[in-house]
Amino acid sequence: MRCRRPAATRYGIHLELYANRLVVPIPAGIGVAPPQQRRGAYVLSGACVYPIRTREPTGVTIVDRAAPPVPTLGALFAIWGQPLSRTRLARFRGRVAAFLGGTRWHGAPERIPLTRHAEIVLQVGGAVPPHRAYLFPPGL
């Protein structure tokens, strides 16, 4: 993936990460090249952006609408520079449980498609009831 200007059409997905039953924050600014302009914890802009990025530390991830194939969760983690597999969730090791829309995902977590308004929950080291949906802000 290349860093470029943001696409005119985009959509959002929501990602929640848990390790040992505790929330793992997803940082703002994944996929936004420096220098970044920030307002508190929020990233307003950067030199260029990747087609998958975060601007806030809430788990909301922006995906530029593009021609198929649909990007995957593995692409987001690659841009972030963090590992993701059946046994790794960022810096945490153990069996990774994945949920998409509240339903267990039995494939490799890095293959989860980033489709419009997907609610994705990943857990390692203990179970937290996964959310089925997320209320997205207007425009996503």
Which one, of 38, 35, 74, lies nearest residue 55 by Cα? 38
Average pLDDT score over the chain: 94
Question: pLDDT tens digits, residue range 63-81?
Answer: 998 766 889 999 999 999 9
Q: What are the CA-CA distances from residue 140 to residues 7, 104, 116 (Å)?
A: 13, 25, 8
What are the domain boundaries of the chain?
A: 10-124
DSSP 66-86: -SSSPPBHHHHHHHHT--BSS
Tell me whether the omega of the peptide bond preceding residue 35 falls within 30 degrees of 0, making it cis. yes
Question: pLDDT tens digits, residue range 118-131?
Answer: 999 999 999 999 98
pLDDT exceeds 80 at position 40: yes
| Contact between 98 and 104 (Cβ < 8 Å) | yes
Locate 75 and state its tokens.
């692409």
CA atoms in the 13 A half-sphere facing the CB of 110: 15
Of the pLDDT bands very low, low, confident and very high (cuts 50, 70, 90), residue 99 is very high
Question: pLDDT tens digits, residue range 78-94?
Answer: 999 999 999 999 999 99
- Averaged pLDDT, 48-58: 95
pLDDT, residue 67, reads 61
pLDDT, residue 25, reads 95
DSSP 16-38: EEEETTEE-PPPTTTTBPSSPEE
- Averaged pLDDT, 39-55: 96
pLDDT, residue 65, reads 87
